[in-house]
Structure 1
Amino acid sequence: MSSDLTSRRAPRAAATPLQRSLKRFDITAMAVAAVISFDTLGQIATGGGEAATWTAVIALFFLVPYALLFAETGAAFPQEGGPYVWVKLAFGRSAAALTTLMYWVTNPIWLGGSLVFLAAETWDGFVFHLGSGTVADYTFKLLFVWVAILTAVVSLRRGKWITTAGAAMKVFTLGLFTLTAVLYGVQHGFQGLDDAGFAPTTAGFLALVPILLFAYVGFEAPNAAGEEMHDPQRDVPAALGRSATIAACCYLLPVLALLAVVPKEHLTGVGGFMEGARLVFGVYGGAAAPVLKATAVMFVLALLTQGSAWMIVSDRMQAMAAADGGFFRRALGAFHPRLGTPVRTNLLSGAVATVFMLAAMQLADGDAADVFAVVLTVAVTTLLLSYLVVVPALVVLRVRRPDVPRPYRVPFGHRGFMGCAALVYAWILIGSWSALFPGVLEQLVGIDYDFLDNWGVSRAAFEAFTLGTVAVLLIVGVIGVVVARREDAVPGTADEAGSRGRM
């Protein structure tokens, strides 16, 4: 690694009690735990047969080039903070701080939105009745959010086993469902395939592309703990390739299984997967009820560890931005001296998730399905918007820093890298626009689009919620950058913050 690059690392990395605890298996498991999203499976399947077609197409033409780009960059620039460091080296600290804010805030929004709603809906329907808006409902959701946060607070040496268990539960649950769906189909027929309609359409593409991109991004997330890996330059490319392959299979096969055996009217974003499980688990006869309940519990625990995995990595990114003097006060990026985790940022994530959860419960008169769709769209939007800066940063680093050793390189050299970047960026542009302004592209190509019918809320309410969220985030980000600059401008402040860095 060049001395110039080493000197430009976030200064907090050297001052924090980071321990190298992640090996190749751990990195793979963390990526699987973070990326495979139970909350998107039902949402994808609502697209019908062409959902499977577009899942495969986007895996080939987005996931593959995306994985190649981040495998090369993650191995070449393995500093703690991952994407924050990459954007900082390419465009400066302020741009990196704003980008990291958009990337980070996706996760407390997602945790306090779609993840907790899906977990509560599953627990209410299959394990224990909670009701809607009851004390039990609020209690469950608050516990879900804060248990996820607390599992991110524990040391990574222990926390990695939580995410590994979550990854194992995901793969096992999806494998069990897919196998059981095949058995059900053998007994009762695969009627769903008869009218599934696998032919791709423009309308289906525009509806599915944001959620599919959201489902496939995030394999670079473990790089946020780059300096807690034993050998990131070798392990990152291998782990990313394995986790991307597992994720593609864990999306495509269950979606096909859902479409094959579950009646279309039962495919919903909130309950589609578990309703499908309720149907196909009938093949187990008298054991169906306990197997279904056990599956529901694993489903909820997998959602919990999914939130934990994202909190572990994204909180580290945000903490490094603060510790580097890019976002509000450096003290926000302090790592606990014994746990080695950014506890203050973890607690901030918990507060944001709680506020968003409480606000989301008031949206659309408490209708879980409508809240789910809109909240998930907000999460899709903020995450995809961050990639509009992250991907160009990878290109700039490739061009301006040819001296940095790259243990892994995209096939076909520089042209291959640039081609992958262009393809990935085109997908991100389409997905971002479709998430922010659904129905606009459809109308441009002459496709009828009933906004209220699709979203359950008016366009005005939808745009107020999504655009308002983005605007508030940008304002907070700009304030954070200004405050950080003023703190650095005070003589001795940075040094004093550094001495206080350990909590």
Structure 2
Amino acid sequence: MSSHLSSTDSRAPHTTTALRRSLKRLDITALAIAAVISFDTVGQIATGGGEAATWTAALALFFLVPYALLFAETGAAFPQEGGPYVWVKLTLGRSAAALTTLLYWVTNPIWLGGSLVFLAAETWDGFVFHLGSGTFADYTFKLLFVWTAILTAVVSLSRGKWITTLGAAVKVLTLAVFTLTALLYGLEHGFHGLTDAHFAPTTAGFLALVPILLFAYVGFEAPNAAGEEMHDPQRDVPAALGRSASVAACCYLLPVLALLAVVPAHQVTGIGGFMEGARLVFGIYGPAAGPLLTLTAVMFVLALLTQGSAWMIVSDRMQAMAAADGGSFTRRLGAFHPRLGTPVRTNLLSGAVATVFMIVAMRVAEGDAGAVFAVVLTVAVTTLLLSYLVIVPALVLLRLRRPEVVRPYRVPFGNRGFMTCAVLVYAWILVGSWCALFPGTLEALLGIEYAFDDIWGMSRAAFEAFTLGTVAVLLLVGAVGLAIARREGPDAPMHGDEPSH
């Protein structure tokens, strides 16, 4: 068997005929950075106080490194379009791959229509132009944000990659400027935030932070969803993943440290922590502080927008491949536009899901943006982490069952090194998934006080109804998708978007 799997093994017929190879190493790196570095989680992580920095560094070493090694090897060895969908399909079958892809994909419109758009609106309202809460301006801004992100995923990847590259550059630049400014502010006024920051790790802090930290660090395999649009994935994927993972670790740890150094931990809020910190430290620029803060807010919102775009670009391709392969819903959903080379129907579906979730979340929250932010982010964490409970075993099975496939990059120490990394990553994902779905339960088991209503702003019953209800609905939708795909049959035409032959 050759190092490249046959088309019947890896993709559906006629699915990717419109694809063009447009991603080079820098593009892959930028796409990963744009997708993975999450502005919305910087403030959320910092709410954990000094030990947040400790756990951020610990997970970078004991989760991010083995995670990067696993996906660097697999992504280079199996660079087919669809990425994780193909990996799970080759080992566990089409149905398992379709359900896993649904959980992976739906995270992103939920996240776009919830966490990202709420944080963007809160930032715009507080630093650029007043929107109000639940007003016409508020709804208009959020709808424009969602659909701009979707439309940037609709354009051809040869053009769309420049949007994500710009987003990656803006994101790294904004975080670097904030970190440097915080350092200058601390040198001038003192690092008062450090006086009540406790860096010693605790079990309670670990259980509170692990889901959000895992969510912050996962996703570097995402560009593999566009594997057949890369010029040289077998060489570029490992290098790009290593670079983007290193940048991400610094872009989380350094701003969190800077934020905690100048803002007392009890004053850091998840939804406004970063920009409120910026408001404080930019005071050293005197009269220029106001315009600089407004510019930073605009860059902040742009970075959030391109982050949503990056995830739509990659996750929509995964879902489209699942549909085109006859694994989920109708094959028409998986058609790639002949000129744009993008899964336009899946893109539009993502926009619809994001819009519905945004409206429902606003109604449920009754204007309380903070409560929506926390719960929506938890739902997104849960669905994404649940998908890795299947993806990681698929990587192990590919290593064991397909030793003949050429692997341009290999995890150090052979099978033993690979399995050690897989066990570490899977253990982290298990703990993170449980903490996200059932917060406070491990604390109760360990005798740690956990004031659920105060932390989440709602009762446990309401929280579990929202999170578990969402997961249950997704599984039901996945089952319906499998039934539709089976009834349609594997040879049904896609119609409409693929070019004629």
TM-score (norm 1): 0.98
Give the drift of 1:500.
Answer: 6.2
1:147 corresponds to:
148
1:477 corresponds to:
478
Mapped to 2, the partners of 1:174 and 1:13 lie a distance apart of: 43
Mapped to 1, the partners of 2:367 and 2:15 lie a distance apart of: 47
Give CA deviations for 1:278-323 in whole Å, capped at 9, x if unaligned: 0000000010000000000000000000000000000000000000
* Paired residue type of 1:307: G
* Paired residue type of 1:63: L
Give the 5 Å matches for 1:65-80.
65-80=66-81
User: Is the 1:16–1:334 contact (alpha carbons within 8 Å) kept by the matching residues of 2?
Assistant: no
Is 1:412 equivalent to 2:409 in the alignment?
A: no
Give the 5 Å matches for 1:16-415.
16-415=17-416
SS at match of 2:404: coil
Give CA deviations for 1:169-218 in whole Å, capped at 9, x if unaligned: 00000000000000000000011112200000000000000000000000
User: Is the 2:50–2:265 contact (alpha carbons within 8 Å) kept by the matching residues of 1?
Assistant: no
Partner residue of 2:494 out of 494, 497, 500: 497
Mapped to 2, the partners of 1:7 and 1:113 lie a distance apart of: 38
User: Is the 2:15–2:498 contact (alpha carbons within 8 Å) kept by the matching residues of 1?
Assistant: no
SS at match of 2:450: coil
* Paired residue type of 2:9: R
Give the drift of 1:476.
Answer: 0.5
Give the drift of 1:482.
Answer: 1.1
* Paired residue type of 1:105: V
> Which stretches of structure 1, 4 residues or more, deviate above 6 A after TM superposition?
none
Mapped to 2, the partners of 1:367 and 1:59 lie a distance apart of: 33
Give CA deviations for 1:445-464 in whole Å, capped at 9, x if unaligned: 00011110000011111100
Mapped to 1, the partners of 2:142 and 2:43 lie a distance apart of: 20
Give the drift of 1:498.
Answer: 6.6
Give the drift of 1:143.
Answer: 0.4
Mapped to 2, the partners of 1:398 and 1:407 lie a distance apart of: 13
Mapped to 2, the partners of 1:417 and 1:62 lie a distance apart of: 13
1:432 corresponds to:
433
2:464 corresponds to:
463
Mapped to 2, the partners of 1:255 and 1:385 lie a distance apart of: 27
User: Is the 1:25–1:239 contact (alpha carbons within 8 Å) kept by the matching residues of 2?
Assistant: yes
SS at match of 2:366: helix
* Paired residue type of 1:285: G
Mapped to 2, the partners of 1:21 and 1:402 lie a distance apart of: 30
* Paired residue type of 2:359: L
Mapped to 2, the partners of 1:319 and 1:501 lie a distance apart of: 13
User: Is the 1:80–1:223 contact (alpha carbons within 8 Å) kept by the matching residues of 2?
Assistant: yes
1:487 corresponds to:
488
User: Is the 2:117–2:146 contact (alpha carbons within 8 Å) kept by the matching residues of 1?
Assistant: yes
* Paired residue type of 1:257: A
Give the drift of 1:4.
Answer: 5.3
- Count of aligned pairs: 499
Give the drift of 1:415.
Answer: 0.3
Give the drift of 1:414.
Answer: 0.5
**Which stretches in structure 2 are left out of the alignment for 5+ residues?**
none
**Which stretches in structure 1 are left out of the alignment for 5+ residues?**
none
User: Is the 1:102–1:383 contact (alpha carbons within 8 Å) kept by the matching residues of 2?
Assistant: yes
TM-score (norm 2): 0.98
Mapped to 1, the partners of 2:27 and 2:161 lie a distance apart of: 7
Deviates more, 1:262-271 or 1:153-162: 262-271
SS at match of 1:362: helix
SS at match of 2:489: helix
Mapped to 1, the partners of 2:497 and 2:153 lie a distance apart of: 22
Mapped to 2, the partners of 1:116 and 1:345 lie a distance apart of: 20
Mapped to 2, the partners of 1:499 and 1:134 lie a distance apart of: 39
* Paired residue type of 1:357: M
Give the drift of 1:366.
Answer: 2.0
Mapped to 2, the partners of 1:56 and 1:15 lie a distance apart of: 40
User: Is the 2:335–2:494 contact (alpha carbons within 8 Å) kept by the matching residues of 1?
Assistant: no
Mapped to 2, the partners of 1:13 and 1:409 lie a distance apart of: 32
User: Is the 1:219–1:244 contact (alpha carbons within 8 Å) kept by the matching residues of 2?
Assistant: yes
Give the 5 Å matches for 1:2-21.
2=3, 5-12=6-13, 15-21=16-22
User: Is the 1:82–1:221 contact (alpha carbons within 8 Å) kept by the matching residues of 2?
Assistant: yes
* Paired residue type of 2:316: D
Deviates more, 1:97-106 or 1:10-19: 10-19
Mapped to 2, the partners of 1:173 and 1:148 lie a distance apart of: 20
Mapped to 1, the partners of 2:44 and 2:101 lie a distance apart of: 27
Mapped to 2, the partners of 1:286 and 1:500 lie a distance apart of: 54
User: Is the 1:39–1:118 contact (alpha carbons within 8 Å) kept by the matching residues of 2?
Assistant: yes
* Paired residue type of 2:212: I
Give CA deviations for 1:6-51 in whole Å, capped at 9, x if unaligned: 4301124654300000000000000000000000000000000000
User: Using a 3 Å threshold, how does the CA distance of structure 1 residues 304 and 40 change in structure 2: closer, same or farther?
Assistant: same
SS at match of 2:220: coil
Deviates more, 1:13-22 or 1:88-97: 13-22
